[in-house]
Amino acid sequence: MTGSKYSHSNSRISSRSSKNRRKAERKKLSLKEGSPMEDRALMYALGEILTTMDKMREEVHGLLKALVLFHFERQAEKLQQVYEESLQTMEAALPEVWSDGQNVQTPLTGPNSTANSIMASFQQQQSPAAPQQAADVLAPPKMRNGVKWKLAVLS
């Protein structure tokens, strides 16, 4: 009996600590302006958007087929055009957001700088943990260009 009591107690402690870990991870990726990891949080959020848009290829393909089947060719053409433009815009922006030169120092001041961003940049330059943060940068999301989603009838 006492063994089950201890295992239950340990389970509760471990679930509490894992909950705190998840909470700390969410807090670390805060999108508040001037937060220490704001750039990483933005990259993570953009990566989620890109992944979601990329996963929609099959759904858009099915929707296009249904629209054509029910004689909504004009709406299907518009959807195909807008979705293709969105995918092209996102693919073109990938190198801009996830550039190879991530370790390049950004200027401390400028017309778009805020007091919080200047302070964060200054603190990053002064902190010895900056190389670890640079190595921990998220990888760019992979776009599945091989997935056929367009209808040739609409092109």
Q: Would 152 be classed as within a structural domain?
A: no
Residue 76's pLDDT is what?
96
Residue 29's pLDDT is what?
72
Q: Would 61 be classed as within a structural domain?
A: yes
Q: How far apart are CA 23 and CA 115, in angstroms?
A: 27
Residue 56's pLDDT is what?
95
Q: pLDDT digits over 6-59, tens only? A: 555 555 566 678 888 887 777 777 778 887 788 888 888 899 999 999 999 999
Q: Would 77 be classed as within a structural domain?
A: yes
Owning domain of residue 74? 38-93
Q: Would 53 be classed as within a structural domain?
A: yes
Number of alpha carbons in the 13 Å side-chain half-sphere of residue 5: 2
Q: Would 103 be classed as within a structural domain?
A: no
Q: Would 150 be classed as within a structural domain?
A: no
Residue 125's pLDDT is what?
66
Q: pLDDT digits over 75-117, tens only? A: 999 999 999 999 999 999 888 888 765 444 555 666 767 777 7
Please name the residue ranges forming H helices in 56-114: 57-69, 73-97
Task: Extract the tokens encoding 43.
Answer: 């990259």
Number of domains in the chain: 1
Residue 5's pLDDT is what?
53
Q: Would 123 be classed as within a structural domain?
A: no
Q: Would 45 be classed as within a structural domain?
A: yes
Residue 136's pLDDT is what?
47
